Structure 1
Amino acid sequence: MAPTPGRPARSRAARRVLLAAGFGNFMEWFDFAVYGFLATTIGSVFFPAADATGRLLAALGVFGVALLMRPLGGAVFGIVGDRYGRRAALSGSVIVMAVSTTLIAFLPGYATAGVLAPVLLVLLRCAQGFSIGGEWAGSSVFLVEQAPRHRRALWGSVVPATAGAGALAGALVTLGLSVWLSGEAMSSWGWRVPFILAAPLGVAGFYVRTKLEDTPEFQAVRRADSIAEAPLREALRENRRAIALVFFATATAAVGFYYLVTSVPNFLTSARVGLSEPAALAATAGGLAVYSALCPLAGVLADRFGRRPTMLLGAAGLVVVAVPAFLLMATGSVPAVLLGMAVLGLFEAMVNVTMVVLLIELFPARTRMSGCTTGFNLAGALLGSPAPAVVAWLAAGFDFAGSGALYLVAVALMTFLALVRMLPETRGRDLADHQAASASVPVPAMDRKTGAPA
């Protein structure tokens, strides 16, 4: 069979797009997740006056405060993306994350700077949260706007998969340091090493992203002289229903992801479970590897069967399996921990991957980044940010091994009940359509062999 003209060039372009979005997202979530893995050590460095539980809650509180900056970051990067291009927004977010994370590595501890130390930590974590406000949704828009119509969810799965891979890399780096260094060395300087890695990763991510052209959808908006003067205001006026849908979809996706990255490792090292930090990190790394591997499968399911059934199955699955998964992990057996995380990861992958394509398919092109970052980051700030601290409080305050899962169950149930009534099927929707995308659209028939529209 003769090669299709232009296919090698298209394949190279596709690889560059996937690399640019995936590598930058990997770097952002490596930086952000490392803090969660080092929460116990960071608590002892910056909040030494409290007891062990108080130090952990203080460190996780700083984690949550950072996420409260997501709506502001989403608003700023969303406006940049809609007015000046998706590439500009993504390049800016990766630089903010790299600079703020690198500076954390050089912060003085409480013993040196007193109360100034935690204040500076909070400020830099807020800068990280500001960056995350534009990264996930921005990467999703950048990828999915350039994906083949029948493979949008598969392409979009790169975003949660590389986020999981970044967190996995953070877990492995932290594991290596905890094994090779003494507790004293870890508290003195070892915890700084993963944050220092942000500098070269940030430079690489910025370089890769600046070498790409902007998405065809944004270029079409610009050629049509249809750039929104006030995209955030327009989105809030015209796309309120879509923003609400994204809020509910993101709620479970965000909470579930923070469970895998932050809550589970801290639960495993708690007095109830009693795993050592290296064992907990190794188990977490294994669970994140399974989750990342499941994301492309979830993308295939969402492309084949639709966004609505995949999202609802994922949310309902988390309602059912979250408590049993925590009971498995509470046994302290590493195989049981891996099984518990794999079960959580399966349904979390369905929710997270489907949420990525909904971010794009629910909004018109001219206000897409402003609209999707609004719903996405409000859910992350209001429901995702308190998750690690709430889980730690539930696990410590109730004599039930599965109590830490109750927050995830409540949020997933809320998502399911809201979306079962509200969520349209968006598979096959024309991304160039500038209508407010709040109603269902007919789904084109798909060719069974190629998966393309018939």
Structure 2
Amino acid sequence: MSTPRTTAARSRQVVGAAAAGNVLEWFDFALYGFFAVTIGQLFFPSTSPTASLLAALAVFGVAFIMRPLGGVVLGRLADRTGRRPALTLSVLLMGVSTTLIACLPSHATIGVAAPLLLVALRCVQGFSAGGEYAGATTYLLENAPSHRRGLWSSIISATSAIGVLLAGVVALGATAWLTEEQVTAWGWRLPFLLAAPLAVVGLYIRYRLDDTPVFQELEARDEVPQEPLRSLGRSGIGRIGLGFYYLATYVVTHLTTVVGLGRTEALLLTIAGLAIYSLVCPLAGMSGDRWGRRPTILLGGLGLAVVAIPSFLLIGSGTPALILIGLTAFAMFEALANVMLGLLLVELFPARTRVSGSAIGFNLAQAAVGGPGPLVAATLAAGLGLAVAPAFYVVAVALLATIALARYLPETRGTDLITGTRSPAAAPATGDLTTVEETR
């Protein structure tokens, strides 16, 4: 069952549903990052703008604390009742919580209750996101031809960036059409209100889906687990996902507060960086299909460690052309790592516990490393007074993750998504003859 029998029409439906739902999910989640400065002023007022910003970024990180719990609950739901119900619920939760953020009174209106309510709603967003990445990736790849899983996996990474990019475009529109005073007073709320109609669209698209051939096969074999959490593999590969959150939520803040660019110019450059990343993702996926998952993700991790400091030096120059070069170099290696990350999460875990295991492993790593990333970056930049300082965190994480992956990660290309065994025709890209089943 390594290649599901999927018609061309169903392939288009599956890809469209996974892509559309993922765009909507990441659009909602990323809006907070683009309005972090404004949210800091309104919900965490302080005599120091830096302190307000750091508080807002800390709340961004709080959402990641809830992601493992979302991975447990939504992953368990996906493994017990099917991939589709869990994906539908994640879109609903994200849409409702994002819409409610738009309606929150500020600190000036209701005092300390305002930041408390904001934290609660960000936790709901984090809970939803905790089940989305692993669920959407699993749904897509369990429908994909085995020899094209890398390319199909790139759809999740690319559409995550497109969702963030669209959030940036909306933020840019608010900045261009409204004065700074209007944005602060009420304009920042408008993008969050878009979550309501977008959630309705996402619910409609996902509700109409059939479940994956892999899950249907488990049902036919009566192998659907009642308690998938009792036996799970372990994976630390989620740590390399840090770079995406730098691109998605921190770069615009860095360009405005550290480099000193205007908000419009900073948003345009950030949007350009995300567009480049989304275009590179399919190439990264095809690399994984051609040369294997292991060499591709190792190249991505090592490349991030090498280019992070030069990239941030270019970003810190304040020159748009140099900033774009720095973002491009960063995006290229991040795409190699991130596309393979989603693919490995699916191929490393057995079908019966795939969503639970991959969601928990991924989200624990993100809660520990990815979520605090923007806060750590801003703290390093403010504390050291160096525009290049945020790169130090990327270098450290990328090096540690790459060393661990080089030691423990098997090649998974050609893995059968039902049995967990590798096809004899799928020659290991690194000479490693270890099967996936033997690593569990």
1:39-78 alignment runs, 5 A limit: 39-78=36-75
| Residue equivalent to 2:387 | 401
Q: Counterparts of 2:221 and 2:115 in 1: how far apart (Å)?
A: 49
| Residue equivalent to 2:95 | 98
1:248-397 alignment runs, 5 A limit: 249-253=237-241, 255-270=242-257, 272-397=258-383
| Residue equivalent to 2:434 | none
Alpha-carbon shift at residue 445 of structure 1 (Å)? 5.9
Contact kept? 2:22, 2:160, Cα under 8 Å:
yes
Alpha-carbon shift at residue 326 of structure 1 (Å)? 0.3
Residues 27-66 of structure 1, C-alpha deviation per residue, up to 9 Å, x if partnerless?
A: 1111111100100011111111341000100000000001
Alpha-carbon shift at residue 339 of structure 1 (Å)? 1.0
Contact kept? 1:425, 1:441, Cα under 8 Å:
no
- Alpha-carbon distance change, 366 to 101 in structure 1, aligned in 2, over 3 angstroms: same
Q: Counterparts of 1:434 and 1:334 in 2: how far apart (Å)?
A: 48
2:104 to 81, 104, 107: 107
Alpha-carbon shift at residue 118 of structure 1 (Å)? 0.5
Contact kept? 1:153, 1:356, Cα under 8 Å:
no
What SS class does the counterpart of residue 144 from structure 2 fall into? Answer: coil
What SS class does the counterpart of residue 400 from structure 1 fall into? Answer: coil
Runs of 4+ residues deviating >4 angstroms: 440-443
**Unaligned 5+ residue runs, structure 2?**
429-440
| Residue equivalent to 1:452 | none
Contact kept? 1:269, 1:280, Cα under 8 Å:
yes
Contact kept? 1:21, 1:143, Cα under 8 Å:
yes
1:148 equivalenced with 2:130 (yes/no)? no
Q: Counterparts of 1:199 and 1:327 in 2: how far apart (Å)?
A: 40
**Unaligned 5+ residue runs, structure 1?**
1-6, 447-454
Q: Counterparts of 1:362 and 1:48 in 2: how far apart (Å)?
A: 46
Q: Counterparts of 2:112 and 2:33 in 1: how far apart (Å)?
A: 21
1:130 equivalenced with 2:127 (yes/no)? yes
Alpha-carbon shift at residue 401 of structure 1 (Å)? 2.7
How many pairs were matched up? Answer: 424
TM-score normalised by the chain length of structure 2? 0.94
Residues 110-146 of structure 1, C-alpha deviation per residue, up to 9 Å, x if partnerless?
A: 1111101111000000000000000011000000011
TM-score normalised by the chain length of structure 1? 0.91
- Alpha-carbon distance change, 360 to 53 in structure 1, aligned in 2, over 3 angstroms: same
Give % identity.
54
| Residue equivalent to 1:119 | 116
Alpha-carbon shift at residue 399 of structure 1 (Å)? 3.6
2:183 to 183, 186, 195: 186
Equivalent residue letter for 1:364:
P
What SS class does the counterpart of residue 259 from structure 2 fall into? Answer: coil
Contact kept? 2:416, 2:423, Cα under 8 Å:
no
Equivalent residue letter for 1:117:
A
Alpha-carbon shift at residue 444 of structure 1 (Å)? 2.3
Contact kept? 2:71, 2:131, Cα under 8 Å:
yes
- Alpha-carbon distance change, 149 to 41 in structure 1, aligned in 2, over 3 angstroms: same
